[in-house]
Amino acid sequence: MKNCSKDAKQSMSAVIFLTVLPVLIPVIVFFAFNMLTSFCRDDFVVSCFFTTWYGPFTALLSSFSDVIISTYNYYQTWNGRVVANFISFLFMLFKDKNIFNVCNTIVYCIFVLMIGFHVTGSFKKISGLFIMFISILLWFVLPSYGQNMLWLTGSCNYLWTGTIILLFLIPFRKKIENLSYKPHIVVSLLWIVPGILAGWSMENSASGVFILLLAYFILKKREKEPVMVFEIFGSIGFMMGFFMLIYARHNLFPGFWGLIKNAVMVGFSFIIQDALLLAVIIFLAIELIYFEKKQITKTTYGFFLAALASVAAMIMPGYFHGRAVFITQIFLIITLLSLVIQIKKIIPRRYVVAVGVILMIIFLPSFYAGSTEIVKGFLMVQARERYILSEKKGNLRIKVKSPIPVSDTHSGIYGNIDILDDPADPGYITFNGAKVTWYGIESLDGIPASEETGIKISIKEFLNRRKTEKLNIDDLFAMIYEGWK
């Protein structure tokens, strides 16, 4: 009996280690990173009542009607991403980032589950280790992880709309795997709503889904399958949202030669940036088709096609880099993992374990470097903000050091359009003006500072003097700001 009890405890420990911890660790880490990412760049703009991108920004949002009007004005004067912009305005209405931190973590969990579902075809097949693996891949593959996942406005534009898109595609994914699948008529009729939200998301994201749906219906026609109610209403909703999205974009066509030039630039950027990912995908596909004589699933082909379509959508604006490549990377991750799932069944388990160990060895140094920069950015932002608030007591025309020196793309404030020092800069009125309203002062200008902050020295000095001089956290931030030369 004692041995049975001992075996049961060991079994329970193994379940916790292999199932619970791999889920909890990424979620806790992601929430902590959200807590360590401050408001920046466009967050201050959407905290204000919006008329046009160039202001004036004279009042903060004060009601839900302000959110609606500001979203409408944004649509009329800047871009058509109503879903993302509405969410951004709504969170900044609260003026409390803790609300966003919790909600963003929940959406992140749903997003990872959505990726797992589209790879495996079932939520039941998603293991804790698989969730951790997806989280690690996102860290590696997204070139602007911090701006896509942690920065408030960026996350609303990419993580949240990406989640909506993957959610919208669920019944299509189920149907392609199970021809007898038939959702309830009420769900089918209501699927017009997720369709509208998915279509009204992000230009290249929606373009990728448009091509994916087109291929889906061509396949149905070829196989002479009847069209379902959810497919009709979901697609109608998607096309409505997609039309409203692109309707707001004007003067995008760069001319015939400009289009060719952009196509070359975008294609080259895509190949260079995703060379390794594409090489692995092609290698696995060749292994399955030519050596193992296996058929690649329709889902794998579909998401790879969607990835290419999202790249093609970037030809009009003429760039493929940074946070704009988010949905392409997500579609490629789903493609890669779909191939991995297929090939995993026919290769020895030891090879899978070896690849996992190698991946972790590569991941840990990158994670340490990224985490360090996230913490550093948070401390610098907090130190400068406390300086602004202390100066505000007797001075409403404030100058502060800028920009925040963060060098890792996993930080949400990396590449931040910070407090500018040149009134002739087109962004001066937009970004400085919005911050002036946020802090309730008359003016805010930047003082160019060195990238060498001496932050470690400041922290060490604080710890040495803390007990003898009874220093508090405000003293720490003051020392950090003073040490920023």
Express each pLDDT in 103-138 by its tens digit.
999 999 999 999 999 999 999 999 888 999 999 999
Residue with tokens 């949905």: 327
The span from the first CA to the last CA of the chain, in angstroms, equals 68
Would you state the structure tokens that stand for residue 475, as one six-digit string?
């003293």
Query: With 60 as the cut, is the pLDDT of residue 2 above it?
Result: no
- For the entire predicted model, the pTM comes to 0.94
Q: Is 386 helix (H, G, I), strand (E, B) or coil?
A: helix
What's the pLDDT band for 350 if we cut at 50, 70, 90? confident
Mean per-residue pLDDT over the chain, rounded: 92
CA 205/CA 144 separation, integer angstroms: 16
pLDDT at position 415 is: 87
CA 38/CA 50 separation, integer angstroms: 21
Q: At what angle do helices 128-141 and 97-120 cross, to 10 degrees?
A: 110
DSSP 289-339: IIIS--PPPHHHHHHHHHHHHHHHTTTTTT---GGGGHHHHHHHHHHHHHH
Would you state the structure tokens that stand for residue 87, as one six-digit string?
């969410």
Contact 325, 208 (CB under 8 A): no
For residue 397, give the H/E element and its range.
Answer: strand 397-402
Cross-strand bridge partners of residue 399: 445
Out of 256-260, 330-334, 472-476, pick the least confident: 256-260
What's the pLDDT band for 154 if we cut at 50, 70, 90? very high
Q: How many CA atoms lie within 13 A of 446 on its CB side?
A: 21
Q: How many CA atoms lie within 13 A of 426 on its CB side?
A: 1
For residue 118, the Cα-to-chain-centroid distance in whole angstroms is 18
Query: With 90 as the cut, is the pLDDT of residue 93 above it?
Result: yes
Burial of 292 (0-12, 13-18, 19+ CB in 10 A): middle
Cross-strand bridge partners of residue 397: 443
Q: Rg for the chain (alpha carbons), in Å?
A: 25
pLDDT at position 3 is: 57
Q: Count CB neighbours of 98 within 10 A.
A: 10
Question: pLDDT for 169-187, tens place per residue?
Answer: 999 999 998 889 999 999 9
CA 340/CA 343 separation, integer angstroms: 5
